[in-house]
Chain A
């Protein structure tokens, strides 16, 4: 097993889903069983990804394998020396872990969909779309350069467009698809601009080379500000794709797509791509850029969490919780808790996929009813779904013994350490508040859906446990939401190989004075401290992190339990009437229920503004620009009429003056164009005479 073999496996893993897509799309209409082709391709892909991850982590733990090929070569360019664009694949630990997660979630979603989508008239097409999505997602993960990440970024966007708008007969679905694509494009503009800045400065797209250039002090525009701007612009892409504030509005709408799609794209993989991208470019994010990122992350964690509390659609709750959790990860990156962001990305992928598939299972058995107020009591009808959903919810809420507890604890410790080092406690405060809210709304959802009495008898009667193919994925995913896969010590995230040896903080390329204070490398101090274990950034940070570990652990666990308790108080035991509570805090409730009016504000400003502008321009074009043209044409016609008149009255009049003398007055008012050859000849003669006179 050498590097080149690994690269070949990676390439096969990447392109297999594409083949699945092409074959299934082209022949899916004729050959009904072709979705099994796509599914088996996914199984192979998953196995390959597993092999890849195993060998990479076991034998090449500390190596980064890169393989590039030249895609575009514009030769020896006068200004830049050479202009080439390489496409390449990079395998490091993060990549292979990510591939494993992506293929696994994709596989279970494929299998889940076999029964979930049964009977759809575009059944095979659906699997084809899943194939192209998996391909694009793997592309994002495997790439070693910015351009390719942008390419697959867009491809992911378009496959998401196709999948959200899969039931395009519904106006809401096609609208949501369009909205998702366009909102993402806004972020992509920023991201592309960032890529342009970096390419213009370094003449390469490759991460490695850019990091190296930054580390030797070669900065965009020559200043640290340039690096910050580039970092923030690149982050714009992540804002769009990871549905961060203020571009988060597309994700809740995207729930119009089939539920397995929501599980795959809008929970586990695509939206995580933004976080993944931030992890990739972490070494060149300057302190200021990180602060912006952390702020956006904190806001995005908080606002959706407040919205999720009042939503009634089960998928909407999950959607907002996704945004909130992604905000967590982004915030973690912003405060420097890089490894925990990635950790949370993985754990979140599994338990959120489990939640979505669980909700899909519920929706399926309730005949596409999504309103939680019409559910209830499903615990008895669907025990397996209930248990898996519960485990995943516990993980999401951050209850000990689950994976979510480990990762969330890490993030909160990161924010806590950040607060203790910089004095900025806002992030920690927001993190803890969101942890409480999360536990609350998740258990609200569980209680409304599975506990209590059935609200809709008829649908309840028909509800039944899902088939094996649908239940299997739930079991797998909920098992993966338990702690022991990641760390054998349920209270210490670093107890497993994942964080202790596979995922490590990267070397920062940013110049010293543009970093956070605690990230500055102080060589002497490291030597003085003579610590046996590894140092993250600086001894101070390592210490702060260790100190923060236990307080955050207890605080977050108790806040989560408190949230659960509140949920039971209000919805299960009904000590507090939720409607009364809503009435009491009417403005807050309304704000939350209406999603902080983001859609309305955006529609009134940006959408309506653009449409009005476009109409104005069309009007301007039609009436003004074209008006000038037509006006000048009109003037020309009038002018020519005048010239004609002039001709017939003055010029022709002069000619006919002579004719008048000989008695031929009839010609006087006739037009210049007599239609008679002979009069033309007359003019010719006179013109010749005049010309002769001139040129004599």
Chain B
């Protein structure tokens, strides 16, 4: 059994990433899609922090993770506003029914 190292965190993050992608692709509800996105962001964050820990980059990785969190907060706020607007317009937040992009 090898010692816990960078690779373990990377594997966790990649699983998390794939689950996030899966959520984004499969769920109809916009909020669920958002949750998937949050998962993806978090998986990236894990990578950043892990590289900061095991790489020779100083604390920049952690700081980037911090920035990503801040961005995620901003993104969540905007996304929720969008979702509310979509709900008002289409009376649904099921993304598969919102396909005006097609026309």
Contacts and interface: CB of A to CB of B under 8 A. Distances in A.
A676 B21 contact: no
A678 B29 CA distance: 11
B27 to A, nearest CB: 8
Contact of B95 (A673, A676, A685): A676
Nearest to B101: A675
A678 B95 contact: yes
A685 B17 CA distance: 12
A674 interface: yes
- The SS class assigned to the B binding surface is helix
Contacts of A675: 99-103
Contact of B21 (A671, A674, A685): A685
Interface in B55-81: none
Nearest to A673: B102
Interface string A118-154: 0000000000000000000000000000000000000
B7 interface: no
A293 to B, nearest CB: 79
Contacts of A676: 95-96, 98-99, 101-102
B2 to A, nearest CB: 24
Contact of B24 (A671, A674, A678): A678
Q: How big is the B interface, by class?
A: 10 to 19
Interface string B1-41: 00000000000000000000100111000000100000000
A682 B21 CA distance: 9
A679 to B, nearest CB: 8
Interface string A659-685: 000000000000101111110011001
A682 B22 CA distance: 9
Contact of A674 (B25, B26, B33, B102): B102
Contacts of B33: 678
A66 B45 CA distance: 91
Nearest to A677: B95
Nearest to B97: A676
Nearest to B27: A678
Contacts of B103: 675
Nearest to B28: A678
Contacts of A678: 24-26, 33, 95-96
Contacts of B25: 678, 681-682, 685
B33 to A, nearest CB: 8
B90 to A, nearest CB: 13
Contacts of A671: 102
Contacts of B100: 675
A169 to B, nearest CB: 60
A486 B26 CA distance: 113
Contacts of A685: 21, 25
A624 B100 CA distance: 41
B94 to A, nearest CB: 10
A677 B21 CA distance: 13
A685 B101 CA distance: 20
A671 B26 CA distance: 20
Nearest to A682: B25
Contacts of A673: 102
Contacts of A681: 21, 24-25
A449 to B, nearest CB: 86
Nearest to A685: B21
A676 B33 CA distance: 13
Contacts of A682: 25
B44 to A, nearest CB: 15
A169 B36 CA distance: 83
A401 to B, nearest CB: 100
B95 A674 contact: no
A672 to B, nearest CB: 10
B86 to A, nearest CB: 12
Contacts of A674: 99, 102
A681 B103 CA distance: 18
A288 B30 CA distance: 96
A673 B25 CA distance: 16
Nearest to B103: A675
Nearest to B21: A685
A674 B99 CA distance: 7
A673 B33 CA distance: 20
28 contacts: A671-B102, A673-B102, A674-B99, A674-B102, A675-B99, A675-B100, A675-B101, A675-B102, A675-B103, A676-B95, A676-B96, A676-B98, A676-B99, A676-B101, A676-B102, A677-B95, A677-B101, A678-B24, A678-B25, A678-B26, A678-B33, A678-B96, A681-B21, A681-B24, A681-B25, A682-B25, A685-B21, A685-B25
User: 3 shortest A-B CB distances, which residue pairs?
Assistant: A675-B102, A675-B99, A675-B101
Interface of A: 671, 673-678, 681-682, 685
Interface of B: 21, 24-26, 33, 95-96, 98-103
Given A675-B101, A675-B103, A681-B21, 20 more contacts: A671-B102, A673-B102, A674-B99, A674-B102, A675-B100, A676-B95, A676-B96, A676-B101, A676-B102, A677-B95, A677-B101, A678-B25, A678-B26, A678-B33, A678-B95, A678-B96, A681-B25, A682-B25, A685-B21, A685-B25
